[in-house]
Amino acid sequence: QVQLVESGGGLVQAGDSLRLSCAASGRTFSYDMAWFRQVPGKEREFIAVIRWSDGNTYGGSRFTISRDNAANTLYLQMNRLMPEDTAVYYCAAKKSGYFFYTRGDDYDDWGQGIQVTVSS
């Protein structure tokens, strides 16, 4: 089990970029980690996952997931932000193994979430 804290959110203009960080208080050794986002009244949306075993990523397009194992930190680089990207962004962790990486309920640990607001 790890504790996760997101940071780096805030208010930006459309077309701008942000890099979110997710710091883990416990080691994320052998954990797959992911980013999700959620808008009130809508389903939680999977963004991307990065695997521990090989570092491969799934998901993303304008967004790029990465991790710094030495810093025990997960990142999400968000480029060309649009107003529809406005949401609360969450990082999540899952002990490596077979699981449905797009299914939030399969993850073991979650951060509190951080607001990203993109103005037009």
Asked if residue 30 lies in contact with residue 13, where contact means CB atoms within 8 angstroms, the answer is no
Residue 29: pLDDT over 80: no
pLDDT band at 7 (very low <50, low <70, confident <90, very high): very high
pLDDT the model gives residue 111: 97
Contacts of residue 70, defined as CB under 8 A and 6 or more positions apart, other chains included, come to none
Place of tokens 């050794």: 29
Average pLDDT over the chain, rounded to whole? Answer: 93
| Average pLDDT for 50-60 | 90
Asked if residue 75 lies in contact with residue 23, where contact means CB atoms within 8 angstroms, the answer is no
pLDDT the model gives residue 59: 93
pLDDT the model gives residue 28: 74
pLDDT the model gives residue 37: 98
